[in-house]
Amino acid sequence: MLNTPRSRRGMVTSPHHLASQAGLQILRDGGTAVEAAVAVAAALAVVYPHMTGIGGDGFWLIAEPGRDPVAIDACGGAGKAVSLDLYRRHGHATVPWRGPLAANTVAGHHRRLARGAGGQRRLGRAAAARPHPGGGDRPCRAGASRSPSARKG
């Protein structure tokens, strides 16, 4: 039988301990699980950049007590409500490449941050407080950079 770790006060996991610590700090400061996840993503962009990045795809299922679940799909094709008129109403002649109306994960970050009270600055500070130990390339990142698939661009 599996022994699944559980916690009544919150838990954070990621592929790098410094990113997990950034998310845990948000929870300890009274932040939400969503805010902790954003802090983890920001920290991973610094301490684990060869495997993740803020500009990639994002899939979120957010379930808050007493509220209907919300799904955020921040990848692939345009959402059902997206139209040229939507962009025009917001003053855009073309689809923006950054910001909350961009067709990427960063736009998904904006959407989920709207559900929290902490703000991006606090979440970014939690990520920035976790510098990469020793700097420079870590062995796993250096190996990934030398891989033939990494050079395919």
In whole angstroms, give the CA distance from residue 124 to residue 44: 11
Of residues 72 and 100, more confidence is placed in 72
Contact assessment for residue 73 and residue 84, using Cβ atoms and an 8 Å cutoff: no
115 lies in a domain?
yes
Query: What is the CA angle 108-8-33, rounded to 5?
Result: 10
120: pLDDT strictly greater than 60: no
Whole-number percent of the chain with pLDDT over 70: 59
Token pair of 67 as six digits = 């509220």
150 lies in a domain?
no
29: pLDDT strictly greater than 90: yes
86 lies in a domain?
yes
19: pLDDT strictly greater than 90: yes
Please tell me whether the overall predicted TM-score, pTM, comes out greater than 0.75 for this model: no
Residue 17, pLDDT score: 94
Residue 2, pLDDT score: 81
58 lies in a domain?
yes
Listed as own residue / partner, the contacts of 28-32 with beta carbons closer than 8 Å and 24 or more positions apart are 29/118, 29/122, 29/126, 31/116, 31/118, 31/122, 31/123, 32/115, 32/116, 32/117, 32/118
Distances (CA, A) of 115 to 41, 52, 76: 17, 23, 23
Q: How many helices (H) and strands (E) are present in the chain, helices listed first?
A: 6, 2
Calculate mean pLDDT across residues 54-77.
80
Of residues 82 and 100, more confidence is placed in 82
State the residue range of the domain holding 26.
17-133
Residue 9, pLDDT score: 83
118: pLDDT strictly greater than 70: no
Calculate mean pLDDT across residues 104-128.
58
32 lies in a domain?
yes
Quote the number of domains for the chain.
1
144 lies in a domain?
no
116 lies in a domain?
yes
Token pair of 22 as six digits = 């950034």
100 lies in a domain?
yes
